Amino acid sequence: MKKVLYVIALFFMIPSGTSAQNKPLLPKSLGANFFFNDFVTPQRIRTTSLNQVLANKRFARMREMTSGLAITYMKGIRPHLDMSANLGASFLRYPMPGREFTNNSLLLEATASMHFKMTTEAYWVQPYLIAGVSTHKYRSYYGATLPLGMGFKINFQDDTHLFVNSTYRVPVTTESANYHLQHSIGVVSNLTKKKKPEIKMPDLPVLPTDSDKDGIIDAEDKCPTVPGLAKYQGCPIPDSDNDGINDEQDKCPTVPGIAKYQGCPIPDSDGDGVNDETDKCPTVPGIARYNGCLIPDTDGDGVNDELDKCPSEKGSSSNNGCPLLEEVAEYNFDFRKVQFALGSDALTKVAKAELDKAAKIMGEHPDIKVSVEGHTDNTGSDAFNQSLSERRAASVKNYIVAKGVSADRIKTKGFGETLPISTNNTAAGRALNRRVEFKSAN
End-to-end CA distance of the chain: 101
pTM to 2 decimals? 0.43
Q: Which of 90, 96, 82, 116 is nearest to 182 (CA)?
A: 90
- Residue 207's pLDDT is 78
CB of 38 closer than 8 Å to CB of 83: no
- Amino acid symbol at 104: N
- Residue 399's pLDDT is 94
- Residue 6's pLDDT is 46
Mean pLDDT per 10-residue section of the chain, whose length is 442 residues: 44 47 76 93 87 85 91 93 94 92 93 94 91 94 95 86 94 93 93 70 76 81 84 83 83 85 83 80 82 77 71 69 64 81 87 90 87 91 93 93 93 94 92 86 72
- Residue 195's pLDDT is 63
- Residue 316 burial (CB < 10 Å; 0-12/13-18/19+)? middle
Question: Which domains occur in the chain, in start order?
Answer: 14-190 (2.40.160.20), 214-263 (no CATH), 328-440 (3.30.1330.60)
- Residue 1's pLDDT is 44
- Residue 173's pLDDT is 93
- Residue 181 burial (CB < 10 Å; 0-12/13-18/19+)? buried
